[in-house]
């Protein structure tokens, strides 16, 4: 500067803070400044530990910020990592200086290293991150909170209060204490460790003065760009301009890699598909930051919209808290694109006036809003878990639902269903998937979907669509089963008869009719059935007084017995030879006596027609043995096909097969 300027500088009164002020002004020798020494809230309250990360962002800057806002100081100088984010209204960063050494050092008695410290040694630190990293290397050490100036903390080492101390290397060098370094630690430190920050009032006339030492003038910018759901035609003009101007593009899934080759920028994949994360989010934040620090024009290209289930705000906060300029260019969110590409409206007059976008990424935290239409992103993996929350929350099992895979791409596929059906349905190796729930789904023509029904009877599936029935199981009655003797001798002694399939009913009554006993001997029993088809078969035999499982599986029977505390009952369970023992086992656990009688067998249908699976959007399975027969015939369950099970046990068999 050609002329002298007088500035009032606020700084904390510690020796390190005063050295930092001298460091800043050593680069501005013509500037005359007056020092205003202050004690921050953190300086006055050294009893408050920092290890729990519960202190306010302005713990070390609050009083200095007030001095700036109220005009008693012109600028304040801080360690950059202590500056709160965001800065208080009315303040701005005037300059960020180049970083000194950014490592951490160990200070210890007798200069012992981390490896040579004895087990149980106490290490003082004020950082939760440092604590975690040290314990990862030496879990046998004790980490204790420590506060005070650098000199005060080192004094605690020398007096034996702690055995060692972790401290920023740059602080030791600035204070001339580098001889106390026992070891440079291999720990990750804060991105701004070693940098100094000059803070002043917004639009301060001193900003130009400090621009000479502001390293941000060499920084590049980061632009978050939404690519849409995958089709390059949906990229906005603003997004295209940002890509054309980029030096480096960090992109994730759903991005057409061939399309990106049309740009001059370096392209780096940082996708995070389930189970195939190339980078953790923290690592992505760091690579964006480092590229911007190198002066590069950075584009972070995201599928959909950067601010909808895309970690956009996390990246903004990380970068802006490190003083990197960030722009955001919106993209077409997948839920919006899905509506256009499937013609399923998200709202419709008289049908739906509200819509909610929900993350399906985590089944534990999936929400069930009361909006008319729900769109779940990332729903494919946790489909059954999401539905298991929606129905108890008040959605009818008959509520229409649609699953859409690869929205906007050539391989887009839509699967129509209901919530009740989706309780026991899954998609193998099919991501990304959007789940849309609500009456608006009915606007599309479900009649055109092709459905393969593999059970023994075509009525095993009653939904809409073009049905192809290829029974994979054949049913055979077991002749001379124990049922005949039971019917003749002890049928009167049973409290319950539970039927799990139509065939159990059919063969039971074939045998019963041979006894010539009046039907009332059965009719007076408590009768339970699993599934609507089983109940319909009982109706053929004039059995109307019965309890039908509220689900299509035996779990509903067990739940009923639990709810009404049905114990001490004698139960007859006529079933398949291959039937799972779940029902009888659970009823016995409740204190009941179960007579488990196989009366029919099922085996693979050797005459079943082989069909082209590619034309079907849905395959329906009625039993675990049907799943086994399918795999035996076709080799494996197909991907990109909705696999529907009639009941929990069959669903569990499907899950086992695809794992």
β-pairing, 570-576 with 547-548?
A: unpaired
Tokens of 641: 């096909």
Query: Rounded distance, CA 20 to CA 100, Å?
Result: 11
Cβ-proximal residues to 589 (8 Å cutoff; 6+ apart), any chain: none
Torsion of CA 405, 407, 413, 418, to 10 degrees: 60
Tokens of 512: 């019963």
β-pairing, 104-108 with 164-168?
A: antiparallel
Cβ-proximal residues to 629 (8 Å cutoff; 6+ apart), any chain: 454, 472, 473, 604, 605, 608
- Is 57 assigned a catalytic role? no
Question: Given CA atoms 510, 515, 520, 521 in this order, what sign does their dihedral have?
Answer: negative
Query: Rounded distance, CA 440 to CA 505, Å?
Result: 39
- Is 378 assigned a catalytic role? yes
Which position among 57, 81, 247, 272 bears the catalytic label? 272
Residue 547's region, left for phi above 0, alpha for psi from -120 to 50, else beta, is beta
Tokens of 174: 């600035």
Kindly give the residue spans of alpha helices, DSSP state H, lying in 456-597. Answer: 483-489, 502-513, 520-523, 532-539, 555-563, 582-589
Residue 387's region, left for phi above 0, alpha for psi from -120 to 50, else beta, is alpha
β-pairing, 593-604 with 570-576?
A: parallel
Which position among 131, 207, 378, 446 bears the catalytic label? 378
Q: 547: which strand partners?
A: 528
β-pairing, 547-548 with 526-529?
A: parallel
**Which helix (H) or strand (E) segment is 425 a member of?**
strand 425-427
Peptide bond into 86 cis (omega under 30): yes
Q: 401: which strand partners?
A: 417, 437
Query: Of 299, 316, 323, which Cα lies nearest the Cα of 191?
Result: 323
Which position among 43, 74, 163, 252 bears the catalytic label? 252
- Is 217 assigned a catalytic role? no
Residues with a known catalytic role: 252, 272, 378
């Amino acid at each position: 500067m050609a002329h002298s300027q007088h500035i009032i500088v606020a700084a904390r009164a510690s020796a390190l803070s005063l050295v930092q002020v001298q460091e800043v002004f050593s680069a501005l020798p013509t500037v005359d400044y007056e020092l205003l020494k202050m004690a921050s809230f953190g300086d006055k309250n050294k009893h408050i530990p920092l290890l729990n990360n519960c202190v306010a962002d302005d713990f070390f800057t609050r009083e200095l910020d007030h001095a700036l806002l109220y005009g008693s100081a012109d600028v304040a100088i801080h360690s950059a990592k202590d500056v709160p984010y965001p800065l208080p209204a009315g303040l701005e960063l005037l300059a960020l200086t180049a970083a000194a050494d950014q490592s951490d050092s160990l200070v210890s008695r007798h200069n012992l290293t981390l490896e040579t410290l004895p087990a149980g040694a106490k290490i003082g630190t004020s950082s939760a991150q440092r604590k975690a990293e040290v314990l990862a290397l030496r879990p046998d050490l004790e980490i204790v909170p420590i506060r005070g100036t650098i000199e005060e903390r080192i004094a605690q080492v020398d007096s034996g209060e702690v055995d060692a101390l972790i401290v920023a290397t740059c602080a030791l060098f600035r204070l001339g204490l580098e001889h106390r370094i026992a070891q440079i630690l291999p720990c990750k430190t804060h991105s701004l460790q070693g940098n100094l920050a000059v803070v002043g009032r917004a639009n301060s006339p001193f900003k130009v003065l400090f621009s000479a030492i502001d390293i941000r003038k060499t920084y590049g910018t980061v632009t978050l760009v939404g690519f849409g759901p995958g089709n390059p035609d949906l990229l906005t003009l603003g997004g295209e301009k940002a890509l054309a101007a980029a030096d480096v593009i960090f992109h994730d899934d759903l991005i057409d890699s061939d399309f990106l080759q049309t740009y001059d920028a370096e392209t780096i994949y940082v996708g995070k598909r389930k189970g195939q994360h190339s980078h953790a989010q923290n690592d992505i934040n760091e690579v964006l930051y480092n590229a911007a620090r190198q002066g590069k024009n950075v584009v972070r290209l995201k599928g959909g919209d950067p601010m909808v289930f895309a970690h956009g705000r996390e990246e903004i906060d990380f970068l802006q808290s490190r003083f990197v300029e960030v722009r955001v260019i919106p993209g077409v969110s997948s839920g919006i694109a899905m509506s256009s590409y499937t013609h399923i409206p998200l709202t419709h007059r008289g049908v739906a006036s509200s819509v909610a976008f929900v993350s399906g990424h985590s089944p534990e935290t999936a929400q069930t809003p009361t909006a008319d239409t729900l769109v779940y992103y990332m729903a494919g993996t946790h489909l059954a878990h999401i539905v298991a929350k929606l129905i108890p929350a008040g959605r009818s099992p008959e509520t229409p639902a649609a699953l859409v895979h690869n929205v906007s791409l050539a391989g887009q596929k839509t699967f129509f269903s209901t919530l009740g059906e989706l309780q026991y349905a899954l998609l193998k190796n099919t991501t990304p998937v959007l789940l849309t729930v609500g009456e608006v789904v009915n606007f599309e023509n479900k009649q055109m979907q092709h459905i393969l029904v593999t059970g023994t009877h075509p009525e095993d599936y009653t939904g809409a669509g073009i049905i192809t029935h290829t029974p994979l199981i054949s049913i055979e009655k077991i002749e001379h089963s124990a049922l005949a003797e039971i019917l003749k001798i002890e049928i009167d002694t049973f409290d319950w008869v539970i039927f799990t399939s139509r065939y159990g009913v059919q063969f039971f009554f074939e045998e019963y009719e041979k006894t010539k006993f009046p039907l009332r001997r059965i009719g007076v029993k408590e009768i339970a059935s699993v599934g609507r088809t089983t109940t319909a078969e009982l109706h053929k035999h004039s059995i109307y007084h019965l309890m039908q499982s509220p689900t299509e599986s035996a779990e509903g029977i067990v739940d009923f017995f639990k709810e009404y505390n049905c114990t001490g009952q004698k139960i007859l369970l006529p079933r398949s030879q291959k039937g799972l023992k779940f029902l009888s086992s659970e009823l016995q656990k409740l204190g009941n006596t179960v007579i488990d009688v196989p009366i029919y067998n099922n085996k693979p249908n050797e005459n079943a027609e082989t069909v082209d699976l590619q034309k079907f959007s849905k395959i329906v399975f009625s039993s675990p043995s049907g799943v086994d027969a399918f795999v035996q015939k076709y080799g494996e369950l197909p991907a990109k096909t909705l696999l529907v099970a009639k009941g929990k046990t069959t669903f569990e068999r499907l899950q086992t097969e695809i794992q």
